Chains A and B, each alone.
Chain A
Amino acid sequence: MTASLLLAAGFLLLLVALYILSEPVETLRFFYSPAAAVFSTAGFLVAVLGLGLNLWGRQSAVFISLLLFFLLTLGLKCLHAVAHGGRPWAATMTHFGLFLFTFSLTFGSLRLENYRLLTQPNLPEMRALDLKSGQVRRLPIAVELQSFDIRYHELADLNHLEQAVPRQYIARVKIHDYTVEPARVREDSILVNRPLRAGGFHIYNTSFDPYGQGYVTFLLVKDPWRGATYAGIVLCLAGGLLLFIQKSRKRPLL
């Protein structure tokens, strides 16, 4: 866990060091030039295409090095823009937003925790399968399933449920949160597209047992870096809007 923080900090330090060194060492200035943007974007495009065509995986050396080179040039470009007062704003915002988004997803994935928790009605459950290590862990919260309802579209014929299309899955749960003293119990429902937040986790209603034996599985996610990812998205959207309302010019302003 701390290793991932060190890696991220090391990467940022490398960026700053390279940028400071680019003052005396002229060749280093290439890394934040438009030409470097072309090469690193083309490189990352190749990496992503390879992923799409199943040529290599996300953990492969090719993919990771091309992703890191993309992040490196993007990060240096951001530093360079900030060091020069940030103008043009739209370009700086989109570049910085894209950097924050990609950086937080890349390094944040090392700190991401994913669990699958299997529940039966009225039995509080705090053991969950860690999807990274494949081991069962005891969580600081317990999920107790109270009921699970499937809402169908109104026109569905109730005599032919297998043909009916579900509209929403509603899990009524009782959450026992042991991260606070004394432990807190609360009741709520978890819907598809509406996760529940408790004890630092987001609890997702992802699947249920189709054979009607009453088991319901939940996905529990702890994503400490999600704030940075959201900030990156907001910056990108705001920068995009600024780019959009700017007057069109002979040359694209980026």
Chain B
Amino acid sequence: MMSWSNFGLFALPAVLAWIGGTVCMVWAPRRGKRAGDLLYIGGLLALAVFIGGFWLNLERPPFRTMGETRLWYAFFLPLCGFLVYKRYRYAFVPAFTTLLATVFIAMNLFKPEIHDKTLMPALQSVWFSPHVVIYIFAYALLGVAFLLACYRLLRRQAAAAETLAVEDNLTRIGWICLGIGMFFGAIWAKQAWGHFWTWDPKETWAAATFLCYGLYLHLRIAFPKAESWAQTAQIAGFLLLQMCWYGLNLFPALGQSSLHIYN
């Protein structure tokens, strides 16, 4: 029986494996290559086993509580970091994603927000899993793009030109996933509530996030020389994403009428 009580048994080895893998990638990029890969993949597998067992035990997809979405984020963030590392060999990306995933895991260990294991009628739909999974995947990709934007802003002179291409590609893929999540949500909303789009607070902030990342990509095309504008949009997009993800729970005045808050 997999539940939050044995989360630590999987999460702590995963964190240690990711830290070990990152150390190999950063300090021994040649000799430690295989060890780094194996450690990183091992950590991902440990968390994947927990998620699988947890899902089976809950008898519903684990996407409902904030703790559960943090769990997915802690899985997808290092996965994206690892894939970016494999493709472009930037060891700082898995280092950052490991750090972020550790923070999310720590939050789940110390404040797991354990809810009951039931889904209410509005969530009984085939659209539920794809809508949430694709959003979490987008959040993870855009999280890495955000880190790259910060890195470029802080090390303007030293930053290599390729990091910008990586940021563009990550943002583009993240933006596509954001769009797919949004349109799946629109189809689901039509089925459940009768309307594709009602400017519900969650929808409003999701649209703002989508537009802001679209703005980044179009700024990169229209004004390729004005990089700081694009980076400002990238950072604003990430802040909007936080607002959309959990910010509405923090500001009841803005989110109280939302049909998307299931507490």
Interface positions of A (Cβ within 8 A of B): 33-35, 37-38, 41-42, 44-45, 48-49, 51-54, 58, 94, 101, 105, 112, 114, 153, 165-169, 191-195, 202, 204, 206, 219, 221, 223, 226, 229-230, 233, 236-237, 240, 243-244, 248, 250-252, 254
Contact = CB atoms under 8 A, between A and B. Distances in A.
Interface stretch (B66-74, B101-109, B192-200): B192-200
A157 B138 CA distance: 39
B168 A37 contact: no
A102 B235 CA distance: 26
Given A35-B223, A45-B211, A243 B183 contact: no
Contacts of A101: 183, 186, 196
Interface string B93-126: 0000000000000000000000010111110110
Given A34-B221, A35-B222, A51 B194 contact: no
B254 interface: yes
Contacts of B165: 248, 250-251
Given A37-B222, A45-B208, A240-B176, A193 B192 contact: yes
Contact of B179 (A221, A226, A236): A236
Interface of B: 116, 118-122, 124-125, 165, 168-169, 171-173, 176, 179-180, 183, 186-188, 190-197, 199, 201, 204-205, 207-208, 211-212, 214-215, 217-224, 243, 253-254
A240 B176 CA distance: 6
A66 B221 CA distance: 22
Nearest to B60: A153
B215 A167 contact: no
A52 B201 contact: yes
By Cβ-Cβ distance, the 3 closest A-B pairs, closest first, are A34-B222, A192-B121, A165-B118
A254 B221 contact: yes
Contacts of B207: 48
Given A52-B254, A237-B180, A244-B173, 7 more contacts: A34-B218, A41-B214, A48-B208, A49-B208, A230-B187, A248-B169, A254-B221
28 contacts: A41-B215, A42-B215, A44-B211, A45-B208, A45-B215, A48-B207, A48-B208, A48-B211, A49-B208, A52-B254, A58-B199, A101-B186, A105-B197, A153-B118, A165-B116, A167-B119, A169-B121, A193-B121, A193-B125, A221-B195, A223-B195, A233-B183, A233-B186, A251-B220, A251-B221, A252-B171, A252-B217, A254-B218
B216 to A, nearest CB: 10
A191 B180 CA distance: 26
Contact of A168 (B124, B190, B191, B195): B124
A204 B194 contact: yes
A38 B218 contact: yes
B253 to A, nearest CB: 8
A231 to B, nearest CB: 12
A109 to B, nearest CB: 9
Nearest to A194: B191
Given A38-B223, A45-B208, A219 B194 contact: yes
Contact of A33 (B119, B187, B191, B222): B222
A168 B121 contact: yes
Contacts of A165: 116, 118, 120
Nearest to B191: A193
Contacts of B212: 45
B9 to A, nearest CB: 26
Nearest to B229: A38
A96 B214 CA distance: 15
Nearest to B179: A240
Contacts of B187: 230, 233
B19 to A, nearest CB: 29
A45 B192 CA distance: 27
A100 B168 CA distance: 26
Nearest to B253: A54
B17 to A, nearest CB: 29
A165 B116 CA distance: 9
Contacts of A33: 222
Nearest to A205: B121
Nearest to A204: B194
Given A204-B194, A221-B195, A252-B168, A192 B217 contact: no
